[in-house]
Structure 1
């Protein structure tokens, strides 16, 4: 899939929003990609996951034993990536504010894991998920996401493959441009702002 085709999938799902958004990182942005909407359609989610799997470096794609995604946003794309790669898919969740592999999931010690997210902005959730996977005995050999919103700046400590990079400006709450400050902010993410 080309970048234009990928963006067309988001637009067709009405998942690319304009306004004033507070991201889960606490940063503010004039645009928001609502990946949950683009993943609502199973056929679309499958197409996007297959395109992302095809972009993984061959050595990572061929070595993966399992796919693990952070709940909530990563669950659907993690499941679809597991299907695209023919590997089991699991997720980590935060029952106590910290990611843990739960719900009866277990990794074989040393299992080679691909950590998959929907959107990466600062990489905080991704790094927390990677730490939880390693604490559960897995070895994270790569990370992937539908969208890289970090402007290519995120460092996860493992090879990282996004389906697309979307360069959307983000601002600290005390450094908003006047046109953004004039719009009421909404918080579409699932985690409290930092």
Structure 2
């Protein structure tokens, strides 16, 4: 899929929002990609996951033992990536602030994991999730996502395969432009900043 085709999928279900948003990373933006909306249709979610899977080099796909994603945002796309790759998919949760496998999920020692996220902005959640997989005995060999908001600048410490890389500007609290600051801020994400 081309970048424009991916964005068309977001637009088709009103998942590309404009306004003033406080992202999970704590940064501000005039744009927000509501991945939950784009993934609410199972056929669309499967189609997007299959497109992501095609972006992962064959040699890496052949090494993957399972898919792990962080809750909440990564659960649906992680599950669909498991389906696209014919691998089990599980998710990490952070009920006390630190990611852990729960609900009976467990990794085989040395399991080669594909980490899957919906959106990567600063990479903080991804790096925390990768560390959690390592603490659980697995090894993350690559990460995939629907969207890379860093436009290719994020370093996750593993090969990274986003479906689309975007460069929507983001701002720290003290950098928010006046025209954006004039709009009431909305926090649409799944976790507190």
Which TM bucket (shorter chain)?
A: over 0.9
Residues in 2 aligned to 1:26 and 1:177: alpha-carbon distance in whole angstroms: 16
Residues in 2 aligned to 1:21 and 1:35: alpha-carbon distance in whole angstroms: 14
Residues in 1 aligned to 2:13 and 2:112: alpha-carbon distance in whole angstroms: 33
Give 1:17's aligned residue: 17
Give 1:83's aligned residue: 83
Number of residue-to-residue matches in the alignment: 193
Deviation at 1:151, TM superposition (A): 2.3
TM-score by length of 2: 0.99
Which consecutive unaligned segments of at least 5 residues does structure 1 have? none
Corresponding position: 1:74 with 2:100? no
Give 1:44's aligned residue: 44
TM-score by length of 1: 0.98
Give 2:99's aligned residue: 99
Residues in 1 aligned to 2:103 and 2:82: alpha-carbon distance in whole angstroms: 17
Secondary structure class of the residue paired with 2:9: helix
RMSD over aligned Cα atoms: 0.6
Corresponding position: 1:111 with 2:132? no
Deviation at 1:87, TM superposition (A): 0.2
Give 2:182's aligned residue: 182
Deviation at 1:130, TM superposition (A): 0.4
Post-superposition Cα deviations, 1:149-171, rounded to whole Å, max 9, x if no partner, equal 01211111100000000110000
